[in-house]
Amino acid sequence: MRRPSYRIAAACLATSLATAALPAAAKTLQFAGHTWTVRANGVGAPRNNAWCEDNAFVDASGYLHLKLTNKNGAWCAAQVSSTDSMGFGTYQWQLRSRVDNLDKNVVVGLFNYPPSNVAPDETNEIDIEFTKWGIAGANALNYTIYPAVTGVPYTTQNFPIAMNGDFSTHRFIWKRQSIRFQSTNGHYDNNPLPIADWTYAPADYAQRIGSTPIPVFMNIWMTAAPTNGLPVEIVISSFKFTPG
């Protein structure tokens, strides 16, 4: 989530001057057995997006919704992060929305990320991202690992993604010496209808794979305004972390 920033015209609800000196409590929601903090209204990285609390919510079925919306020409993104930190193990998401036909400027992220008091930016991050990074015709499934220490480049692999319906499962299995990524059509705890399967196992794993437990994030944002001008809503029916 550290791509180069540039200004995107956007607006969100502003905090009134009368209460500016008293920061409001962060909005939280319950999903998949965890408490999640919703990113507050405002503008910020990545890519100087505007963020709106109302664009993240859990429905009556217990599904998490993340929306990228446009109101009066102003686009607004959504993000949630777990209040607890998780370490080595299997991280699995099951989606009920197609992520193979997103506009080239839309980004959907499923990842972990360290707080600034734990590790610096561009380290200790593991990403599954659905996006073409603004390039028409690019592969839309991206697996990325940021190193455990600064000064080491990140590693990324991208794959084509073609879904046979709305349901898909995506996971990474984080171990001390390797990270395995898998994506499959349908909702499964294995990979019977594979979209992609890739294992990262560098010889210098101590430098390239983090080992510190950190929070999990889910978001939807944009590199620029969607070329089709359409809002996007992603539905995540489950998240499961299995320590390993």
The string of pLDDT tens digits covering residues 144-186 is 999 999 999 999 999 999 999 999 999 999 999 999 999 999 9
Residue 190 predicted with pLDDT over 50: yes
Residue 37 belongs to some domain of the structure: no
CA distance 157 to 138: 12
Choose among 56, 57, 50: nearest CA to 76: 50
Residue 233 predicted with pLDDT over 60: yes
Percent over 90 (pLDDT), the chain: 88
CA distance 112 to 244: 16
pLDDT tier at 1 (50, 70, 90 boundaries)?
A: low
pLDDT at position 71 is: 87
Pairing type for strands 106-112 and 126-130 reads: antiparallel
Residue 122 predicted with pLDDT over 70: yes
Residue 197 predicted with pLDDT over 90: yes
pLDDT tens profile 2-20: 443 333 333 333 333 333 4
pTM tops 0.85, yes or no: yes
The mean pLDDT of the chain is 92
For residue 161, the domain's CATH number is: 2.60.120.200
pLDDT tens profile 76-87: 999 999 999 999
Residue 186 belongs to some domain of the structure: yes
pLDDT tier at 22 (50, 70, 90 boundaries)?
A: low
Residue 95 belongs to some domain of the structure: yes
Residue 49 belongs to some domain of the structure: no
- The two most distant CA atoms of the chain are separated, in Å, by 56
Total domains present in the chain: 1
Q: What is the mean pLDDT of residues 54-81?
A: 97
CA distance 141 to 108: 10
> Both ends of the chain: CA-CA distance in Å?
25
119-124: long-range contacts (C-beta < 8 A, 24 or more apart)? Answer: 119/210, 119/212, 119/214, 120/150, 121/2, 122/2, 122/146, 122/150, 122/154, 123/147, 123/148, 123/149, 123/150, 123/210, 124/148, 124/210, 124/212, 124/214
Residue 234 belongs to some domain of the structure: yes
Residue 44 belongs to some domain of the structure: no
CA distance 2 to 104: 18
Q: What is the mean pLDDT of residues 105-127?
A: 97
Residue 5 belongs to some domain of the structure: no
Using only C-alpha atoms, what is the Rg of the chain? 17
pLDDT at position 57 is: 98
| Residue 165 structural domain | 79-243
pLDDT at position 15 is: 31
Contact 78, 41 (CB under 8 A): no
Residue 31 belongs to some domain of the structure: no
CA distance 232 to 106: 8
